[in-house]
Structure 1
Amino acid sequence: SGLYLFDLSAGKNRLGGSVLYQSQNQLGQQSPDLDNAQHLLQLFELMRDAVHGDLISACHDRSDGGLLATVAEMSFAGHCGVNLQAPSVDLEAWLFNEEPGMVVEVSAANQAEFMAVVVASGLSQLTHHIGEVIEGRNFVITHEAGDESWSCDELEVIWSQTSHLMAMQRDNPEVVAQEFAQIKQHNPGIQPAVDFDFDPGLIAGYQGQTKPKVAILREQGVNGQNEMAAAFMRAGFDCVDVHMQDLVDQQVDLMDFSGLVACGGFSYGDVLGAGLGWAKTVLFNLRLRQQFSVFFADQSKFALGVCNGCQMLSGLRLIIPDTDHWPDFLPNESEQFEARFSQLSINDNNIFFQGMSGARIPVAIAHGEGRAVYQDASGNAGQVAAQYIDNHGVTTMQYPHNPNGSQQSVAAVSGAGGRVLAMMPHPERVFRSAQMSYAPAEWGENSPWMRMFYNIRLFVD
């Protein structure tokens, strides 16, 4: 595939205020500028058309560090090599100016159609073919003065060094060292593996029928109820917003619902431990404790807890059948809030993941206290519903693939005969392919996580 530069400076290559000059203790005489604002509008419209036509494989704005940093970062993210072909101009200015512009990657099959869009936009004079994506992990600059080549891994080590040193001072240095060491381990990137159906046809037979009611449960500080409701609505549920105060005031009875879903967020600001204040609202209210106990024991009901809801369900394991050996969820080993895109391996030992066993699916995670720690070191492997895996598909304790240091790489556990699931990652934030940071085109509108919500609908029937 080819690399193209949209140069809105029309070749001026001004270096004033650049990172290059800053590193040399210089300021410069002329700084980058957008000399023709119309060009920016034309570029926006061009990019809109190219994206809608699926003509672009990747893009990155030219910003701090200039063209060299832009293309290098694209190489790091794409795990690929680059041959950058410099024109007959001042090489330093060409590589390091921070003029407004953008680099796009276009596959060979799309280049003719892409150039037709460029010509139609009126920006052909500002569009330049600057190189190719190549096999291997080398970064090559071809120039009339001679070629230069570096290992992409070595460049990424240099690029990451400052952030790494800062993280060593701020975070747990053990996990920081693990992440830094992986730069040279030829990480292939996220590798989904899905062989099951997640098409809406799975629940087509329920169209026109009465929708089962699900309680979208929240407490003070919870903020994930809207996206959770959206996922369940797509699966054919009637979602009811239920605040814990509604239960305390006896305005709502859990037994009126087919299931309850405890949503993510920060109930009570995570005081007393994440999710535990929420759990105590149930345990220290005799009437609520009885109501939840009866609900969890009813084999026609299901319960799902995600993130803060997972921590809350863990705090209720005294009243949930078959959860004696569930783990506690403690502060992350990194000592930081982790907001990442992780990958899980799925077990189908529950009603939620039926037909999904063995799949490798990316998912959003966002938590400060997600480290699963068992009181009994052996845990209960039969209750593990999902595990963190690396990009080779192997369960791992290595950071950041295991983002919190969970024992047994645990990301989710099941109980009550598979009717209750406590899950730290957020499937409700990625039930649409568009919500994924990366999704294969063949997935279509739904992501594989939609199968989880369809499974719940099938169970309720």
Structure 2
Amino acid sequence: NGVRPFDLAVEQMFGSSPKTYMKDNTVERHYESPIYTPSDLQEYLTGVLQLEAVGCKDWLTNKVDRSVTGKVARQQCQGGLQLPVSDCGVVALDYRGVKGIATSIGHAPQAALADPEAGSVLAVAEALTNIVWAPLAEGLDSLFLSANWMWACRSQEGEDARLYKAVKALSDFCRTLQINVPTGKDSLSMTQKYPDGSKVISPGTVIVSAGAEVSDVKKVVPQVMVNDKDSTFYHIDFSFDSLKLGGSAFAQSLGKIGDDVPYVQNAEYFRDAFLAVQELINGGLIIAGHDISAGGLITALLEMCFANVRGGMDIDLKYLDESDIVKILFAENPGIIIQVKDKRRQETEQILEDAGVGFVQLGKPTDKRCVLVSKAGTIYPFDIDELRDVWYSSSYLLDRKQSINGRAERRFENYKQQPLEWVFPATFKGKFSQYGINPDRRTPSGIRAAIIREKGTNGEREMAYSLYLAGFDVKDVMMTDLTSGRETLEDIHLIVFCGGFSNSDVLGSAKGWAGGFLFNEKAKAALDRFYARKDTLSLGICNGCQLMMELDLINPGHEKKGKMLHNDSHKFESSFLNVVIPTNHSVMFGSLSGSKLSIWVAHGEGKFSLPYNEDTYHVVAKYTYSEYPGNPNGSDYSVAALASTDGRHLAMMPHLERSIFPWQNAYYPADRINKDQITPWVEAFVNARKWVSDKSAE
């Protein structure tokens, strides 16, 4: 008919399947509310901060690669101490670092126990107040959700009826918000039966995942407060409901659930509030912010301070229309905290007022290392550093079950004593023009580099872009190209062995990859000829570093060979940390001597085991802190990178190719984050290109 290419009834495709009718009875269940006294506030907070849902997740985030692809613009950890306080994750669509994709999750299992409808709405609300910090390309119209239903259907009377109410509430809420839920997953048999006839029923809940297109990954708001006295904190309410403690972490910490659960009373108001905050973000008005969910307002305030090493907050709750200090601090009504520069307060308040959004002023940053909360003439001091250790303690207890050699204890002792610091080269300006490079280059330079990769390599794309940006023409070479003789490397001046998990590391890191060279005549001959030339450079990153050490390409004259061993923790380590560049004469790092820079690491076997004294080696990068986790693997002499004696060949565990742009960095100097186009790591690649160019001209 000119509109539809075909128009068939579902019955014509799949037949007329019988309809399933499920019947259940509604069963009212009530849960006791917590009993409390304001004088025990500190004790309550200690209990809440140690709950798994509230406490630090460092034990999870430190063992997964959070930088792979080089397109990660926002991962779990933030601030000078790199603690997991992020509300959302963001990845760039390409290496230009503009458009991207944001993701977040939300769930409210305790609230769903008391009220399945509220549990669904609060799960959606948490996902949205988490993702709101990313500037969405088309506001809520950019957003889509996925709902994962975890329910013990048919396990007891009333459970199916609860599921029906929960699904309908989520559907109604999202329809009013004008948000699509196109996908999801159902796990509806969450019941465990035992031989003695007993059974355990999982509390019904929905886990909501949100995703949306981001207009600019560099504008994502951090969850770490800025130590600027000329700024103000605001509370923005998203619930349009009175403060309630039912289904909260506070109630759970006291062994209760409660019946009185917060709700989003007006979905249209929620939408208006979300869009108003998006307008503030797009206008650059918010310098920091945090959602209010598990743990309540006090947890959000503290988490904004935890990842810093200095500063605190002076909070006055006089504008909040609630007298119960426990409800104010621990209620989990959907809402957010924002920090705004004072010179833009009037503009911020006007936007919120025009949108009809409720907000109150909370307070200001202070030099004191505590969160001072005032209400009705009473002051409640909360020591940030002391409570941060309480918040971190659950992570430490879990980390003990996965780390060995006392590394969990070392991490707990040292995490707050190893802040990120920088000493940039005096000549560094942070601009493409400084190095004569152009990201829009579309013509070949004639200076050729090759990426050599094996099955399981995963860092080749970000490396290829880094090389191309620096001025190389980049060639992709698989090991099969070398073993078959199709590639000889005769026209290549720089080869790079990239990071990843070659051959799944089943024989040990890079052992199988090394065998591909050692036991193949053509591949070995091509490599030997390349290293015999005087006009060549080589670089090995992570898995490539392990390969170069295994092939003895850095110090071939040493009788005793250096080795790469398992990390002292015997687990994968992923961190954004400091390295120092000692005085050296390597081609790539020589000009960076004296610098202290931040960089990504992600490896399981990154420990340099070096049999000779440190001065025997050409060390070109060292971890700034010798103690774990600043030295993530226990390398001898805190070595992060070694170069050959002549400085032409470099083996390095950290990923400089994932750290060349400020937006790739998990933390970057505040005075440069909005000015620099690139980081000093680009200089290493430019140095290599210039060296090859000079050699070719000789």
What TM-score does the superposition give when structure 2 sets the normalisation length?
0.61
Q: 1:12–1:297: structure 2 CA closer, same or farther, 3 Å change rule?
A: farther
Q: Which residue in the other structure is 1:92 paired with?
A: 326
Q: Is 1:447 matched up with 2:676?
A: no
Residue 660 of structure 2 contacts residue 679 of structure 2 at CA under 8 Å; is this kept in 1?
yes
Q: 2:633 maps to what in 1?
A: 404
1:323/1:415 CA distance change after superposition, 3 Å: farther
1:417 aligns with 2:643: no
For residues 437 and 379 of structure 2, what CA distance do their matches in structure 1 show? 63
Listed one character per residue, the Cα deviations across residues 289-321 of structure 1 (whole Å, up to 9, x for unaligned) are 222122123221111111111111111116865
Q: 2:262 maps to which residue?
A: 32
Residue 322 (structure 1) shift: 5.7
Please say if residues 239 and 270 of structure 2, whose CA atoms lie closer than 8 Å, have aligned partners that are also in contact.
no
Aligned match for 2:375, one of 115, 128, 143: 143
Counterpart of 1:2 in structure 2 is 232
C-alpha spacing 1:374/1:7, structure 2 compared with 1 (3 Å): same
Q: Cα gap change, 1:283/1:184 in structure 2, threshold over 3 Å: closer, same or farther?
A: closer
Q: Write the letter of the residue equivalent to 1:437.
A: A
Match of residue 111 from structure 1: 345
2: distance between equivalents of 1:322 and 1:263?
Answer: 24
Q: For residue 368 of structure 1, what is the aligned residue in structure 2?
A: 604
Alignment of 1:260 onto 2:495:
yes
Q: Helix, strand or coil: the match of 1:335?
A: coil
1:243 is displaced (CA, Å) by 0.8
CA distance in 2, matches of 1:355, 1:28: 63
Q: Is the Cα contact below 8 Å between 2:482 and 2:526 reproduced in 1?
A: no
C-alpha separation between the residues in 1 aligned to 2:371 and 2:362?
Answer: 13
Distance 2:314 2:569 in 1: 37
1:286 CA displacement: 2.8
Tell me how far apart the structure 2 counterparts of residues 145 and 173 of structure 1 sit (CA, whole Å): 50
What SS does the aligned partner of 2:585 have? coil
Whether the 8 Å CA contact 1:337–1:367 is kept in 2: the answer is yes
Corresponding residue for residue 329 of structure 1: 564
Aligned mate of 1:356, from 592, 603, 608: 592
- 2-structure distance, mates of 1:349, 1:118: 57
Residues 19-41 of structure 1: CA deviation (Å, up to 9, x unaligned): 11111222222333333344444
Partner of 1:393: none
Report deviation, 1:49: 3.8
Inter-partner Cα distance in structure 2 for 1:338 and 1:33: 40
- Taking a change above 3 Å as real, the CA distance of residues 184 and 446 of structure 1, as seen in their structure-2 partners, is closer
Match of 2:313 in 1: 82
Q: Which amino acid aligns with 1:423?
A: M
In structure 1, the partner of 2:281 is 51
Q: Which residue of 1 aligns with 2:580?
A: 345
Aligned pair 1:200/2:200, yes or no?
A: no
**Contact 1:13–1:94 under 8 Å retained in 2:** yes
Q: Conserved in 1, the CA contact under 8 Å of 2:431 and 2:677?
A: no
User: Which residues of 2 match residues 174-193 of structure 1 at below 5 A?
Assistant: 174-182=406-414, 185=417, 189-193=419-423
Change (3 A) 1:78 1:55: farther
Among candidates 502, 515, 526, match of residue 291 of structure 1 = 526
Shift of residue 383 of structure 1? 0.9
**Secondary structure of 2:476 counterpart:** strand
Deviation for aligned residue 1:190:
1.7
- Percent identical across equivalent pairs? 33
Instruction: Describe the superposition over 1:249-299 as per-residue Cα deviations: whole angstroms up to 9, x where unpaired.
Output: 111121221211111110011122211211121112233222212212322
Deviation at 1:54?
Answer: 3.5
Question: Which moved further from structure 2: 49-58 or 13-22?
Answer: 49-58
Counterpart for residue 227 of structure 1: 462
Tell me which residue corresponds to 1:392.
none
Q: Aligned-pair distance for 1:325? A: 6.6
Instruction: Tell me how far 1:241 sits from its aligned partner.
Output: 1.3
Q: Give me the TM-score of the superposition, normalised by structure 1.
A: 0.91
Going from structure 1 to structure 2, the CA distance change for 1:136 and 1:334 (only over 3 Å counts) comes to farther
Partner amino acid for 1:32? Answer: P
The 8 Å contact of residues 339 and 365 in structure 1, kept in 2 or not, is answered as yes
Cα distance, 1:52–1:300 mapped onto 2, change above 3 Å = farther
Residue 478 of structure 2 corresponds to which residue in structure 1?
243
Report the residue type matching 1:73 in the other structure: E
Change (3 A) 1:34 1:301: farther
Per-residue displacement from partner, 1:304-353 (whole Å, max 9, x unpaired)? 11111111111111686567676322111122211111111113421111
Check the 8 A contact 2:233/2:337 in 1, yes or no: yes
| CA positional deviation for 1:144 | 1.0
* Deviation sequence 1:220-240 (CA, Å, 0-9, x none): 111111111111111121111
3-state SS, counterpart of residue 413 of structure 2: helix
Q: Deviations over 1:79-102 (max 9, x none)?
A: 321222223512111111222222
Structure 1 CA distance for aligned equivalents of residues 247 and 532 of structure 2: 66
Q: Which amino acid aligns with 1:305?
A: G
Give me the CA root mean square deviation: 2.4
- 5+ residue gaps, structure 1, are 390-395
Per the alignment, in what secondary structure is the counterpart of residue 286 of structure 2?
coil
Distance 2:512 2:265 in 1: 57
**Structure 1 residues 153 and 115: CA distance shift in structure 2, 3 A:** same
Aligned residue identity for 2:580: S
More helix by share: 1
Amino acid at match of 1:332: N
Q: Which has the larger radius of gyration?
A: 2
1:303/1:419 contact within 8 Å kept? yes
The answer on whether the counterparts of 1:139 and 1:150 sit within 8 Å (CA) in structure 2 is yes
Q: Tell me, yes or no, if the aligned pair for 1:296 and 1:416 is still in contact at 8 Å.
A: no
Q: Determine whether 1:17 maps to 2:247.
A: yes
For 2:277 and 2:344, the matched residues in 1 are separated by 14
- Is the contact between residue 305 and residue 422 of structure 1 (CA under 8 Å) also seen in structure 2? yes
1:168 Cα deviation from its structure 2 partner:
2.1
Aligned partner of 1:99: which letter? Answer: N
CA distance in 1, matches of 2:343, 2:252: 41
Q: 2:609, 2:532 → 1: CA distance?
A: 25
Aligned counterpart, 1:271: 506
Aligned mates of 1:211, 1:14 — CA distance in 2: 67
Distance 1:218 1:318 in 2: 17
Asked whether the equivalents of residues 81 and 135 of structure 1 are also in contact (C-alpha less than 8 Å), the reply is yes
